[in-house]
Amino acid sequence: MTSGPLDQGPDHSSKGPVITVTGPFFSDKRELRPTSRGLLPSASKDNPAMTLRQIPAAHATMLACALLAGSAHAQDAGKPRLKPLDDAELSGVYGQALLDLVNTTQGGYDFSRLTLKADITMSSTLSGLVLGRHADGTTDIDISTLSFGRSDLDDAHRTVAIANPYFEWVYTGSAATGDRQVVGMRVGFGGISGDVGLLMNTVSGSLVINTPSGQMTSLGAQSTTLTGASCGCTLALNQIGGVTAGNATDGASRDFFLSILKSAVTYPTTNALAPAASQAGFWLNWTDRLNALNTTGTVPPNVPKIGP
């Protein structure tokens, strides 16, 4: 680096780098400029002693800034210059956001879905999940145990993989007419893979589970059984000890959601899967790629791992 001539006195050069500083010593901004004695500030009205004080630290800061600017310029020398895009050009540019908001209209309702574009692995257990208790003592959903993952097999089975969790709100009316109101919402997953322990007593919703007796389903409010079309048989919900969600061939289970509504609503499709109409109250939808772990009502253990 070749140094240029500096001014030879207290008069400051009108050229060269300038650092603007503020702080408790000054009532207004001060400018630091290079001189023959280092980097000196312009005269301070409220602290004259600062005027003639050399500031080696500021000099070093100026040198570091100059080196950084030179390095950035060298790195950018071979790169194309940025240019603004007009609307037509911008329409052809795509990107991926962490949060994705989609608004749709269907069946006289408006929907706003907020999706977290993320992959999550979790191991947790919920006990005594009771939702929608009625005056007569019945409930919309009563699940004694809900375990994500299991601890009685290898480490790969300890967690469940969840992709793209989302919230979706349902509205009716409009702001223009003054009757805009929230009808309800749902929380769901774009994909779920792994072993999920279940002890279901009552479920209001739509379920499809593959069992040794064939595919069995449940659709309706406060259901306590599954029905098999091929076997002509029924199976109590609490005999399902859990499910394996997804499989290695087809991928994750894609339509899990839990809904709460003031009135029946058919939600928009998720992953090209059209759900059955969700009824008022709490409603559980889970019909895609589910295989029963057992039909003895035995929920696999899910305890924390001890040691490495």
List average pLDDT for each run of 10 residues in the chain, which is 308 residues long.
43 42 43 48 48 48 51 57 79 76 95 95 95 96 97 95 97 89 97 98 98 96 96 96 97 98 96 96 98 97 86
Distance of alpha carbon 172 from alpha carbon 132, whole angstroms: 23
How far apart, in Å, do the first and last CA atoms of the chain sit? 56
Amino acid (1-letter code) at residue 141: I
3-state class of 36 per DSSP? coil
Contact indicator for 141, 190 with CB cutoff of 8 Å: no
Q: Where are the beta strands (DSSP E) in 212-245?
A: 214-223, 225-228, 233-236, 242-245
CB atoms within 10 A of CB 153: 11
Alpha carbons 286 and 290: distance in angstroms, whole number: 8
The three-point CA angle 259-264-269 to 5° equals 60
The tokens of 113 are what? 């879905």
Q: Name residue 278's amino acid.
A: S
Q: Which pLDDT score, from 0 to 100, does residue 305 have?
A: 86
Asked if residues 249 and 264 have their Cβ atoms less than 8 Å apart, the reply is: no
Q: pLDDT digits over 40-92, tens only?
A: 444 444 444 444 444 444 555 555 555 455 545 555 556 677 778 788 887 77
pLDDT reported for residue 174: 87
**The pLDDT value given to residue 247:** 96
Rounded-to-10 torsion of CA 284, 119, 170, 141? 20
- Can you tell me which residue has the tokens 């003592």? 137
Give residue limits of the domains in the chain. Answer: 19-75, 99-292
From the list 123, 130, 126, 146, the residue with the least C-alpha distance to 299 is 146
Please give the pLDDT value at position 261. Answer: 98
- The reply to whether the predicted model has a pTM over 0.85 is no
CA dist 207 and 235 (Å) reads: 13
pLDDT for 94 equals: 66
Q: What is the pLDDT of residue 76?
A: 55
Nearest to 291 by CA among 207, 225, 209, 224: 209
Residues in Cβ contact with 194 at an 8 Å cutoff, skipping those fewer than 6 apart: 148, 149, 157, 159, 160, 161, 244, 245, 246
